Amino acid sequence: MHNNQDLSLARANRVLTERLRPAIHSHPQPLALAAHRVGGEPIPVADGLAAEYVPAQVGDPWGRAWDTTWFRVTGTVPAAFAGRRVEVLLDLGFDTNMTGFQAEGLVYRADGSPVRSLHPRAQWIPVAKEAAGGEPIEFYVEAASNPVLLDYVPFLPTEKGEWETAGEELLYRVRRADAVIFETEVFELVHDVEVLLQLAEQLDAGSARRAKILFALDRALDAVDLQDVAGTAAAGRAQLAEVLAAPAAPSSHLITAVGHAHIDSAWLWPLRETVRKVARTTSSMVTLLEEHDDFVYAMSSAQQYAWIKQHRPEVYARVKQAVADGRFVPVGGMWVEADAVLPGGEAMIRQFLYGQRFFRDEFGIECRGAWLPDSFGYSAALPQLLVGAGFEWFLTQKISWNERNVFPHSSFEWEGIDGSRIFTHFPPMDTYNSQLSGAEVALADRNFKEKSVGSSSLAPTGWGDGGGGTTREMIARAKRLADLEGSAKVVWEHPDVFFARARAELPEPAVWKGELYLERHRATYTTQHKMKQGNRRNEQLLFEAELWASVAAVRAGRAYPYELLDGTWQEVLLLQFHDILPGTSIAWVHREAAARHARVTEILQGVIADSLAALGVELVEPVETTAPLVEPAETTAPGLDKLDQRDLLVNAAPIAQSGVGAGSVGVATAGSPISATASGDGFVLASDSLRVELDAAGHLVSAVDLASGRDAIPAGERGNLLQLHQDFPNLWDAWDVDNSYRKMRRDLDAADEVRLDGDAIVVRRSFGASSIEQRLSLSADGRALLIDNTVDWQETEKFLKLAFPIDVFADTAVAETQFGFQTRTTHDNTSWENARFETHAQRWFLVREPGFGVAFANDSSYGFDVVRSRRGGAVVSDVRFSMLRAPRFPDPRADLGVQRMRFALAFGADEARATELGWAINTPARPAVGAALAPLVRSSDPRVLISAVKLADDRSGDLIVRLYESSGGRATTQLLLDLDVAAVRAADLLERPGEPVEYAADGAVSVELALRPFQVRTLRITPA
Ligand SMILES: [Zn+2]
C-alpha cells in the first residue's frame, strides 16, 4: 500500500496547530474591562480591589516596566452557555515563547480570595464547570508588567533591570477578554493527537508502530470536520482509541513526573517579585491538585513558603492543606536553593537547619532529599553535610550543562572529601522544566545511563520562574503516556518513592568521587564582588557573634539573642541564592543585596560588642553602629597589623593569633620587628621570617622564606603583576568566562607611584579610566605578606587578575572547600582537566611541593587559576587571584566603582599554614581592653578546628559545638570545656541529639574525640 509518512506528519502538525487547538475554546463573548495603574511598588490586595478603576479596552497598551496594573473583568455568563463548562480567556499581551520572563497576573474574586494565576501558557480563569447561564462574572487581576530581559537576541546589555532606568514605555497590550465555552472533547482530541504525533516523530522511520500511529492519525483527521471540530471531535478520537490503548513494552523506561516550578528567588526580577511569583504559581498548583487525584507537586525553599505565609496568607492556607494531604511536597530541606560552592561549610549546614526547621514547624515533616537542580556546581564537601543533616538522596541536573564532558552516570553514589556517600540522580531529560513532550520523554529513555540494570528516572515537570508551574496540558500528556506502546512510561509520584525504587534497582551503583564541577558559569566565582564580600564578611561575623553570645550566656547569664541571630542567618542564607551570591542578577537585586548585607553586618557587630561588654571586654575600636545601608562597611578589619599598640586581643578564630589562644581574650605577645625600606631602585619588607623585595614598579621580584632560605619567585620573574584580559564570553555574560580570554592579555607594568608609607609600601597604577592602589605590608607576626587592594573599576568586558609566578613544581593546586580542602591538577592532560581552567576556593589555595609551598588567602574572593609554565629550564606555577570582571548582562554596570579586597601570601606554607592564614585574615583578632577570658571550649589538637559554638536551635539552653578535622588525616583531640556539664551527647548537623559521649570531669571537663579525615562532628552539651 502507498503511504507517505512525511505527509501524514505534516498534515497532523498543521491541523493540530491551526484548527484543533484554537477550537478548545468556543463562542467568545466580550467582557467589560477596567484598569487601575498603581504606578509604583505593589500594593496590598485589599487596596487593589478597592482602587479606582477606569474603563479599558482590548487593544489598550498597559504596564511600564516593573509596575503593577489591577484589571477588573466583568460580565454575565450568556444564557446559551447553560450546561457547558465556562471560562474567561484573558490575554494581557503574552508571548508564549517567553513564559516566566514577562507579564504575569494573579486572579482574585471580589472578596479577595485567590483563584489562580495568569500566564502566557495559562490564560484561562475558571467560571463554572457546568454553567447555569446568567450568572455574573467579576474577577480582579493583579498584573505585573515585568520586562523581558533575556530577549530573542539574548544577553544584550539592558537598562530595564532597575525601576529608575527602565523607562516609561508601556510594554504590553491587552489582546483578549472573553467568556468562552471550554470544549472538553476537543481538549481531549488535541492531546490524543499531540501525544501520538510527538511519539511518532521520535520513533524509527521504519518501525511498524510509527506506521500504525500515522495511519490512525490520518483516519482521525479524516473524521474531523474542520468547520465543526467540537461536533466531530469524538469521532476523531474514536479512530485513535486503539493505538492509544496499546501498552508499553515490559522493559520500558519509567519516568517519575514530579510537578514543579523552578522559581529563582531573585534573578531577572527583584526579590519582592518572587514573593508574587510564588503566590501565583502555588495558587494555580493547589487548584490543579484538587482537580487531578494522581498529580503530585513539589516545591523547594523554605524561604518561598515563608514569603507566602507572610504576604499571601490566603494562598498559604491552601498550600498548607495540600501539604497535609501529602500531594504538595516540600523538597530540598534548604532555606533557599543556594549556590553550592561559594557558601562556607557552616552556612551550608544552616541552609539545612533553617530549611528543615521551617518544614518541621509548619508541616510536621522533614525532607529526605536535597534538591538543587540549577546551582552552578557542587562542593566535594556536600555528601558529608547532606548525610550529616539526615538526607538520603540528592538531585540535580545542572551538570548536563557541561560544555565539554558528558557525565557518565544518571544514578550513582556521590562520595565527598571525607568518604561519605549519598545516592544521587541526574534526570536524564536534562531539564528541570519538563513539558513531557515526546522529544523530552524519548531523551530521558535514550540518555539514561544505567539502563543495563535500572529503568527509572525523574522529571521535574512544569514551567518555572513564574511560568505558572505544571499545566493541565502536561497532566493530559502524562495520562496518555502512562502505558503507551513505543514510549517510556510516565507516572506522577512523590520523589521519595522514585528514589527508593531507583536505589533498589542499583545494588552496586557507580561511585563518583569529589566535586561536581560545572563546566560552565566559571565567572560566578568572581562577578559582583560585593556579593562575595558581604557573604564572607557576614559568615565570619556570624561565627564570631554566636561564639561571644554563647560565652556571655554561659558565663554572664546574658540572654542569648536568638531572634537577632535567626534573622541575620536567614538574610545571609537568602543572599546565597544561586543567582544572588554568584552575581548573575539584575542591578536592582545586587543593590538591594549589598544593602541587606550591610544591615546584617551592623547587627552582628552590635551582638559581638554587646556580648563582649557583658564579659568585661571593651573593643578598642568602637564597632560601627551607624553603617550606611547602601555601601557595605569596610572589610579591612582592625588588628592584624596594629597589635603592638594594644593590651588585649579578642581572638574568636579557632587558631592562635599573636600569642592569644583560640576562642579567647588575652594579652598579645610582642610582634615581630618589621621593616619597610627603600633599597636601590626598589623596596624591601622584612621580618624575622620573611624578606620580600619589590622593584621600582611595585612588582614582587623576590620573596624569601628565611627558615628554608628559598625564594618563591623564579629568577627574573615578577609577582604582584596585574593582568587585564578582554572578557566577552559566547553566552551568559555575568556567568561565563571562556577559555579564549587568556589569549588577550595586557600586563599592567607601569606604576604611577610607589612609595613607603610607615611599615607598608603603597603602589598606585592607572589604566584606562580605572585605577588601583595596593598597600603591601607584613602581618604583625611577620609571617605573611598582606596586599590590600582598592580598585576604582571602570572597565567594560574585562577580567582583572593578580599574578604570581611561583618557583614550585606542583602537579596539583590545593583549594579550601567547606570543612577541608581538595586538589585539582595544574595540567590539562584530559578534557576534564582542561575544562577546569578557572576554579574556586573558599578562604585559601596553595601550590606546594614536598617541604615548600606558597599559600594564597583572601577575605572576599573565590576565583583563581593556576597554570604550569616552563621558564628557564624549569616548570613553575603561575598562580593568579581572580579580582574583578565587567560583564554587561544582566547588570550593565556590574562591579563598576570602588572595590576593596585583601589578599595574604604565606611562603614556606603547607595545608596547615594555609588553613591558619585563611582563618587569620577572615577573623582577625580585635584590639580590646578589659578582662582576659579563657576559652569556653578548646580543642587540644590544632588540626581539629572549632567551626561553631552556639546555643541550640531548640532554645533548650544546650551548647552546640561543631568541629572538623582540617588536615585530611586522622586526629584524636581533647575537647576542653570550661563549664559545669550535666551531659554531653553526639548530635547530627541539625543538632538532634544522639548517643551520650563520655567525658572526664576532674577539674576541667574534657571529651576525647577521634575524627576521620575531614570529618565534621557536632556535640550537644547540657550545662549543669
Ligand atoms: Zn535557578
DSSP code string of 963-997:
EEE-SSS-EEEEEEE-S-EEEEEEE-TT--EEEE-
pLDDT at 622: 58
Helices (H), 331-452: 345-363, 382-388, 438-447
- For residue 338, report the distance from its CA to the centre of ligand 1, in Å: 9
- For residue 423, report the distance from its CA to the centre of ligand 1, in Å: 22
**Under a CB-based contact definition with an 8 Å cutoff, are residues 924 and 641 in contact?**
no
- For residue 464, report the distance from its CA to the centre of ligand 1, in Å: 9
pLDDT at 1003: 78
- For residue 329, report the distance from its CA to the centre of ligand 1, in Å: 19
Cell of 507: 545494588
Q: Are strands 981-987 and 1016-1023 parallel, antiparallel or unpaired?
A: antiparallel
- For residue 808, report the distance from its CA to the centre of ligand 1, in Å: 40
Catalytic (active site) residue 711: no
pLDDT at 640: 36
Separation in Å, CA 522 to CA 326, 467, 736, 743, 796: 39, 27, 6, 17, 18
Dist. CA 221–CA 1015, nearest whole Å: 65
DSSP annotation of 522? G
pLDDT at 623: 52
- For residue 263, report the distance from its CA to the centre of ligand 1, in Å: 7
The DSSP string of 777-838 is EE-TTS-EEEEEEEEEE--SSEEEEEEEEE----SEEEEEETTEEEEEESS--SHHHHT-SS
Q: What is the pLDDT of residues 63-118, one digit of tens each?
A: 999 999 999 999 999 999 999 999 999 999 999 999 999 999 999 999 999 999 99
- For residue 402, report the distance from its CA to the centre of ligand 1, in Å: 16
Dist. CA 650–CA 657, nearest whole Å: 9
- For residue 400, report the distance from its CA to the centre of ligand 1, in Å: 14
Contacts of 626 (CB under 8 A, 6+ apart): 602
- For residue 779, report the distance from its CA to the centre of ligand 1, in Å: 41
- For residue 20, report the distance from its CA to the centre of ligand 1, in Å: 35
Helices (H), 488-633: 495-505, 529-556, 562-574, 587-614
pTM of the model as a whole: 0.96
**Under a CB-based contact definition with an 8 Å cutoff, are residues 765 and 722 in contact?**
yes
Dist. CA 442–CA 425, nearest whole Å: 18
pLDDT at 637: 37
- Nearest one of 94, 52, 88 to 70, comparing CA atoms: 52
pLDDT at 647: 84
- Nearest one of 64, 473, 463, 113 to 277, comparing CA atoms: 463
Cell of 924: 582577625
- For residue 432, report the distance from its CA to the centre of ligand 1, in Å: 9
Cα dihedral sign, 516-520-522-524: negative
Contacts of 439 (CB under 8 A, 6+ apart): 198, 201, 202
**Element containing residue 958 per DSSP (H, E):** none
- For residue 196, report the distance from its CA to the centre of ligand 1, in Å: 32
**Under a CB-based contact definition with an 8 Å cutoff, are residues 1020 and 986 in contact?**
yes
pLDDT at 2: 83
Q: What is the pLDDT of residues 217-251, one digit of tens each?
A: 999 999 999 999 999 999 999 999 999 999 999 99
- For residue 26, report the distance from its CA to the centre of ligand 1, in Å: 38
Cα dihedral sign, 727-730-735-736: negative
Q: Please tell me whether residue 143 adopts helix, strand or coil conformation.
A: strand
- Nearest one of 731, 897, 970, 872 to 155, comparing CA atoms: 731
Phi/psi for 329 (5° steps) reads: -110, 110
Give the mean pLDDT of the chain. 96
Cell of 674: 618589621
pLDDT at 986: 98
Contacts of 672 (CB under 8 A, 6+ apart): 687, 688, 689, 778, 780, 781, 782, 783
- For residue 630, report the distance from its CA to the centre of ligand 1, in Å: 26
- Whether residue 330 is preceded by a cis peptide bond, meaning omega within 30 degrees of 0, is no
Q: What is the pLDDT of residues 626-656, one digit of tens each?
A: 333 333 333 333 333 433 445 899 999 999 9
Q: What is the number of helices (H) and of strands (E) in the chain?
A: 19, 54
Catalytic residue among 374, 445, 736, 865: 374
- Nearest one of 960, 963, 947, 978 to 1010, comparing CA atoms: 963
Low-confidence ranges of the chain (pLDDT < 50): 624-645
DSSP annotation of 889? S
CA contacts within 13 A on the Cβ side of 697 = 14
Separation in Å, CA 835 to CA 180, 204, 403, 512, 827: 55, 35, 8, 17, 11
Q: Residue 528 — left, alpha, or beta (φ > 0 → left; ψ -120 to 50 → alpha)?
A: left
- Nearest one of 109, 115, 123 to 172, comparing CA atoms: 123
* Side chain identity at residue 694, one-letter code: L
- For residue 1, report the distance from its CA to the centre of ligand 1, in Å: 52
